[in-house]
Amino acid sequence: MAAASALCKKQQHSQKYGRIFKSRFGPQLVVSIADRDMVAEVLRAEGVAPQRANMASWKEYRDARGRATGLISAEGEEWLKMRSVLRQLIMRPRDIAVFSDDINGVVTDLVARVRALRSKQPDGLTVLNVNDLFFKYAMEGVALMLYERRLGCLEEQIPQPSLEYIAALHLMFSSFKTSMYAGAIPKWLRPLIPKPWKEFCHSWDGLFKFSQIHVDRKLSEIQAQVAAGQEVKGGLLTYLLVTKELTLEEIYANMTEMLLAGVDTTSFTLSWSTYLLALHPQVQQQIYEEVVSTLGHDKIPVSEDIPKMPLIRGLVKETLRLFPVLPGNGRITQKNLIVGGYLIPAGTQLALCHYTTSLDESGFPSATQFLPERWVRKDATDRVDNFGSIPFGYGIRSCVGRRIAELEMHLALTQLIQKFRIQVSPLTQEVRAITHGLLTPGAPINVLFVDRK
């Protein structure tokens, strides 16, 4: 069975109009590029501070509230400064490896939650709408790395501040389509259609408030430790607060934007992985055998174990190829560019259509099939296609949270595969992807977690 068959709008457009075409998004002209080599041409020509999209609405909110921009919304020098601080702290696998034990603590709670949820169902095996569970796991995991604190999202009763944050995040993604790239609703229309802008601001207020609570709490702890003459030790946030390489407002903004970027992306990918494993029992068995031969039945994996399990890495890569949670990415050209023989003037918004290129047969034979082993390198010279599937983006502006997301996903999937046989529930019809800003499951994914032992 083909794992990915439904075509999204951009794929339909590229079938109809070709691999490079112009269209309009509200008043904005957009040039879409749905060809691996042309995407490579654009990304290889990037300057030192690439621009992704028009972030005017994000900037407007921040100016109105006296807030700073974070990595997603900042541009130019401002962005470059923050990026060079953060990339040194979280972009190398070894910087993130130290979080293995912390994340494993969250995985333990995830596994316990699977058991608690399935015990509530008549068959004692089904977890309904698995994304709800992975959302809480991803939020707990990324917040632990960012705020150095557990939030309690995987407990039976979620604490009120975390519930309020979740509400603000849902609101943001419901207004995502219209508001994120503000060009879609011109400013003069706001008095006539006030709701999207109001919701957008309300949602940001909630997201910033949450980050500020946690940052301020950590700051008070550090101040108390200093006053008591104790050594101050900690992770990312402690480092940022102690070194003052970023201002306090910049820390609030980056913590806010990283948490926003790190929850749905990771949880949807985990949901798709689980669905694909359930649909393909033979592939799941192959990965299970690799996990058990590396770790046995009980050893808890740490980040050093992951390179020994190439199929776990292949599983995540193949999931993101079939269901890239950000199905497209953007760049604004900073100089005139010739792409595929067309002159594209500086200042043009480009849409790079990853969802199309990652399902292109020329880069990925049997492109709609779920084949994690296609990512396993046969030897040191064997490289799998690069620009066809770049779910974390590319280059200096690529995803700064990639290593965090990978650690969370690798550790969770390894333990779930080690402990459970994952099966599709009869309650689940075929789940197709829908694009709602992010590529999301169009229906709840309900799965059975059957104990392996």
Q: How many residues bind ligand HEM (CB under 6 A)?
A: 27
Helix, strand, coil shares of the chain, percent, nearest 5, are: 55, 10, 35
CA dist., res. 11 & res. 249, Å (int): 40
- Does residue 266 belong to the site contacting ligand HEM (CB under 6 A)? yes
Residue from 196, 391, 437, 441 binding ligand HEM (CB under 6 A) = 391
Given a contact cutoff of 8 angstroms between Cβ atoms, the answer to whether 450 and 423 are in contact is: yes
Stretch that binds ligand HEM, among 31-39, 99-107, 129-137, 398-406 (CB under 6 A): 398-406
Q: Which is nearest to 235 in space by CA: 90, 337, 424? A: 90
Q: Is 393 in the site for ligand HEM (CB under 6 A)?
A: yes
Q: Cβ(288)–Cβ(417) under 8 Å?
A: yes
Q: Which is nearer to ligand HEM, 150 or 421 (CB)?
A: 150
Any contact of residue 54 with ligand HEM (CB under 6 A)? Answer: no
Q: Does 83 bind ligand HEM (CB under 6 A)?
A: yes
Rounded distance between C-alpha atoms, residue 207 and residue 164, angstroms:
9
Interface segment toward ligand HEM; rule CB under 6 A; list 184-192, 388-396, 413-421, 445-453:
388-396
Q: Using the rule CB under 6 A, is 405 a contact of ligand HEM?
A: yes
Tokens 């399935």 identify what position?
Answer: 118
Kindly state the smallest distance separating residue 46's Cβ from ligand HEM, in Å.
9
The one-letter amino acid at 404: I
Give the integer Cα–Cα distance in Å for 63 and 290: 52
Strands 20-25, 28-33: parallel, antiparallel or unpaired by DSSP? antiparallel
Strand order in the sheet with 447-451: 126-127, 447-451, 420-424
Asked if 452 contacts 419 with a C-beta cutoff of 8 angstroms, the reply is yes
Residue 350 is a binding residue for ligand HEM (CB under 6 A): no
HSE-up of residue 23 (Cα within 13 Å, Cβ side)? 14
We find the least distance from the C-beta atom of residue 329 to ligand HEM, in angstroms, to be 5
By the rule CB under 6 A, 333 interacts with ligand HEM: no
Would you say 96 or 422 has its CB closer to ligand HEM? 96
Q: Site residues for ligand HEM, window 159-218 (CB under 6 A)?
A: none
Give the one residue of 30, 325, 344, 417 binding ligand HEM; rule: CB under 6 A.
325
Among the listed residues 271, 329, 356, 358, the single contact to ligand HEM using CB under 6 A = 329
Q: Does 394 bind ligand HEM (CB under 6 A)?
A: yes
Least Å from the CB of residue 142 to ligand HEM: 5
Min dist CB 314 to ligand HEM, Å, is 15
The label of the residue with tokens 């023989």 reads: 341
Radius of gyration (C-alpha) of the chain in whole angstroms: 22
- Please provide the size of the chain in residues: 453
Interface with ligand HEM, residue 326, by CB under 6 A: yes
What is the C-alpha separation between 253 and 234, in angstroms, rounded? 20
Residue 441 near residue 272, CB atoms below 8 Å? yes
**CA end-to-end distance (rounded Å), the chain:** 29
201 is in an annotated binding site: no
In terms of CB distance, is 153 or 295 closer to ligand HEM? Answer: 153
Of the two residues 121 and 238, which places its CB atom closer to ligand HEM in the complex? 238
| Residue 312 near residue 306, CB atoms below 8 Å | yes
Least Cβ distance, residue 262 to ligand HEM (angstroms):
3
> Toward ligand HEM, which CB reaches closer, 249 or 421?
249
Q: Give the shortest CB-139-to-ligand HEM separation in angstroms.
A: 10
Q: Are 133 and 443 in contact (CB under 8 A)?
A: no
**CA of 92: how far to CAs of 10, 214, 239, 401, in Å?**
33, 25, 16, 10
Q: Which lies closer to ligand HEM via its Cβ, residue 81 or residue 83? A: 83
Q: Which is nearer to ligand HEM, 142 or 422 (CB)?
A: 142
Question: Residue positions in the annotated binding site for heme?
Answer: 399
Binding residues for ligand HEM (CB under 6 A): 52, 71-72, 83, 142, 257-258, 261-262, 265-266, 269, 320, 325-326, 329, 391-394, 397-401, 404-405
Binding site listing: 399
